[in-house]
Amino acid sequence: MAAAQTTRTTGFLRTLLSRCPAPRPPGRHRGLSSLPPPPPGAWSSDVSRLPHRELYRLSIHNPDRFWGSAAVDRLRWVEPFHRVRDCDLSTGRISWFLGGKLNVSVNCLDVHVETHPDRVALIWERDEPGTEVKVTYRELLETTCRLANTLKSHGIQKGDRVAVYMPVSPLAVAAMLACARIGAVHTVVFAGFSSEALAGRIQDAQCKAVVTCNEGVRGGRVIPLKPTVDAAVRSCPTVQHVFVSQRTDNPTVMGDLDVPLEEVMTSQPPVCPPEAMDSEDLLFLLYTSGSTGKPKGVVHTQAGYLLYASLTHQYVFDYRDGDVFGCVADVGWITGHSYVVYGPLCNGATTVLFESTPVYPDPGRYWETVQRLRINQFYGAPTALRLLLKYDDGWVKKYDRSSLKTLGSVGEPINHEAWYWFHSVVGDGRCPLVDTWWQTETGGICIAPRPADEGAPIVPAMAMRPFFGIQPVLMGEKGERLSGNGVSGALCLSQPWPGMARTIYGDHQRFVEAYLKPFPGCYFTGDGAHRSEDGYYQITGRMDDVINVSGHRLGTAEIEDALDEHPAVPETAVIGIPHGIKGEVPFAFVVLKEEFDDDSLVILQQLRELVASKIAKYAVPDHFLVVKRLPKTRSGKIMRRILKNVAMETADDLGDVSTLDDPSVVKEIIEAYEQHRKQEDKP
Ligand code: PRX
């Protein structure tokens, strides 16, 4: 791949924005932004001033008052809601702010343009250090409106689904907000996913359009994106247009469906009346892995999601007006949705869009960025910290990090070594470090230490305390509630909260089965947790067949489905095993048809390519072991526990194997593993 070329987007944004007329005074054109701000309600006058502990108590005992006043005061409504919530966790009927109408893009843009149009909304930290682009709230509103008008002029209407296949950039944010403005539903697909994975998501959501870039730029490399989209849309008859942004100067072959995004946007008006959306209309779908082979389209709606993202953003990170908020996640994941885009923008923050990698051009990249952009909150994944702490601390210390006030960790358990390094080396021991636990389905942070709670101690490497409105319960093996402290069980949340997913797109039954049926009356997270003697929560990991590779969630069944497509492979089993930097990596046990035994090396290479092409490169198993058969119970269920013991070299302690159909299979697999290790050790 070629090294990164000079890019055009900066030029485009500047040209585009310099052509924009002066901002209109608020209220000159009809639309939501012309409405007067709501009168101050209970939230600002009394609720928000309560100490945290009391706020939490109120949120649990009187959720209607807590969330109702927060929604009135923090969001701008076109029509007020008449009921705070109507939820039944046994059927999955979850509605918040009933009857209310609002527009999310107005809450993220117009309201701030009225008060501080020239505040920087986005700092696009591009791959090449020192080439950042700043976009003000006024500029972002205008760019969003031009993009919204572009979508509208190509027939995209309220309720239509639009796939966004782009790395993080101002145009990716504008594409999300443009959908929100016109009432279309965006589904951002991480730009590292393969064409098949993209196609599967477009088909499931029946997207009418795709917004993409010609290429991405990351770690000094140019990554082709348009060819991936071209291959995907060939099997997606619902797609009528592909809007292509030019991230680089390299020429792009344009086909019948393709629309040059910047070119068309320039001729569109910079004003677009916002659609009045019902609180419970869909805002976005985000596909995530579950325990079956098919990713689920998690559905988030308008008001509840936005309110929850903004409240958590403010309280968990102690965000203060004027702070520069640096979340280094990609917009392709929920962290990017809630803490790069919606939470910070709803709060009028300056939010950083980080396009690069933690080690480009060197391992000081994050901290050089902190110094240059004067970042106040830094939110990242443990996997990057584990990678960085292996380098000399000088890579951190040489940069000025005095702007930092809060550090945050997300996506996977943070080990003690990474926590202490982040806290003491990066934060010089003076910044609260919050381990935040949440999920795509929860919409926002659910368990975190909450540094704004003055004086509350933070226990290292622990998510600790539930956020407002979150009531964690731990369940035992028989479905009983575990009371008291010092207990471990299945982590459930027993009260609905406004940010929670409403359903799985097109499959409400799957939503109910996966989250609400396992422990009736509660939302089951799929994670296990321990409640310490002090009553704090420690996440102990997934209880299902979902693994977490470098903070990316993967279903082992998805990988198995991809492997099983190979004609030489009748059966596979994939498990996750610990990895020093990535957290976990997939380990695949593969059964080959007898006639292919001699070709195993070739086949394994084909299997790697198959997984990369069906899912993504990060899903390719780090380890493969060819076995004659898999350990199964008499009812035919694969006993993954045994495979895990073998792969982690703890086979001395296999536990009960009496339910195996043929226990001799264990010896066979151990021998295959030992043989494999011997070959690996050969020079
Ligand atoms: O297992 C938990 C783990 O990541 C899962 C959610 O993954 P995803 O939906 O991709 O969202 C990631 C970003 C929020 C959870 O079920 N996880 C997330 N945060 C933590 C965590 N595990 C331990 N500690 C955390 N702080």
Instruction: Check pocket membership of 553 for ligand 1, CB cut-off 6 A.
Output: yes
Write down the pLDDT at residue 50: 72
Query: Which pLDDT value is given to residue 313?
Result: 97
Q: What is the mean pLDDT of each run of 10 residues along the chain (683 residues)?
A: 35 36 28 34 56 88 93 95 96 97 98 97 98 98 98 98 98 98 98 97 98 97 97 98 96 95 97 98 96 92 98 94 97 98 98 98 98 98 96 98 97 95 98 97 95 80 95 96 97 98 97 97 97 95 93 93 94 95 96 87 95 96 95 90 91 78 91 88 70
Distance 440 CA to ligand 1 centre (A): 8
Residue closest by Cα to atom 10 of ligand 1:
553
240 burial (CB, 10 Å; 0-12 / 13-18 / 19+) is middle
Ligand 1 centre distance from Cα of residue 437 (Å): 6
Q: Is the dihedral of CA 141, 143, 144, 145 positive or negative?
A: positive
Predicted confidence at residue 598, as pLDDT, reads: 78
Atom of ligand 1 nearest to the CA of 441: 9
Distance between Cα 2 and ligand 1 center (Å): 35
Atom of ligand 1 nearest to the CA of 335: 13
- The answer to whether the 3-22+103-356+437-529 and 550-681 domains have the same CATH topology is no
Per-residue confidence (pLDDT) for residue 21, from 0 to 100: 29
> Which pLDDT score is estimated for 679?
81
pLDDT at position 626 is 95
Beta carbon of 411 within 6 Å of any ligand 1 atom: yes
Predicted pLDDT of residue 48: 62
CA 42 – ligand 1 centroid, Å: 33
Among protein residues, the one with the nearest Cα to ligand 1's atom 3 is 412
Q: Which CATH class is domain 3-22+103-356+437-529?
A: alpha beta
| Ligand 1 binding pocket includes 438 (Cβ within 6 Å) | yes
Token pair of 578 as six digits: 């610990």
> What is the atom index within ligand 1 of the atom nearest the CA of 438?
14
Tens digit of each residue's pLDDT (9 = 90 or more) over 483-507:
999 999 999 999 999 999 999 999 9
Distance CA 209, CA 163 (A): 6
Per-residue pLDDT at 26:
30
Contacts (Cβ under 8 Å, ≥6 apart) of 538: 462, 463, 529, 530, 531, 532
Q: Which helix (H) or strand (E) holds 627?
A: strand 623-627
For residue 3, the 8-state DSSP code is: B
**Average pLDDT in the chain:** 91
Segments making up each domain of the chain, as ranges: 3-22+103-356+437-529, 550-681
At residue 44, the pLDDT reads 56
Per-residue pLDDT tens for 403-417?
999 999 999 999 999
Closest residue by Cα to atom 24, ligand 1, is 413
Mutation probe of ligand 1 site: the residue of 305, 433, 438, 462 with most atoms within 8 A of C-beta:
438
Q: How far is the CA of 452 from the centre of ligand 1 (A)?
A: 22
Q: Answer yes or no: is the C-beta of 435 below 6 A from any ligand 1 atom.
A: yes
Looking from the CA of residue 436, the nearest atom of ligand 1 is: 26
H or E element: which one contains 311? helix 303-316
**Per-residue model confidence (pLDDT) at position 683:** 62
Provide the pLDDT for residue 324: 98
Ligand 1 touching residue 542 (CB < 6 A): yes
∠ Cα 238 340 209 (to 5°): 10
> Measured between alpha carbons, how far is 421 from 435 in angstroms, rounded to an integer?
14
Beta bridge partners of residue 287, listed in sequence order? 297
* Per-residue CA distances from 451 to 172, 199, 322, 436 (Å): 31, 42, 18, 11
CA–CA separation, 535 and 524 (whole Å): 20
Ligand 1 atom with the smallest distance to the CA of 548 is: 4
H-assigned helices in 62-167 = 63-74, 104-105, 111-115, 137-153
Question: Tell me: the pLDDT tens digits for 240-296?
Answer: 999 999 999 999 999 999 999 999 999 999 999 999 999 999 999 999 998 888 999
Looking at residue 2, its pLDDT comes to 36
Q: What is the pLDDT of residue 8?
A: 34
User: From the CB of 463, is ligand 1 less than 6 Å away?
Assistant: yes
pLDDT of residue 16: 36
For residue 547, how far is its CA from the centre of ligand 1 (angstroms)?
A: 10
The C-alpha torsion from 428 through 429 and 430 to 434, rounded to 10°, is 110
Which residue CA neighbors atom 23 of ligand 1 most closely?
Answer: 413
CB 73 near ligand 1, within 6 Å: no
Identify the burial level of 371 via C-beta atoms within 10 angstroms of its C-beta, where 0-12 means exposed, 13-18 middle and 19 or more buried.
middle
Instruction: Report which of 259, 375, 381 is spatially closest to residue 330, judged by C-alpha positions.
Output: 381
List Cα–Cα distances, 374 to 89, 166, 352, 367, in angstroms.
44, 26, 11, 10
Tell me which residue has its CA closest to atom 6 in ligand 1.
Answer: 439
- CATH node for 550-681: 3.30.300.30
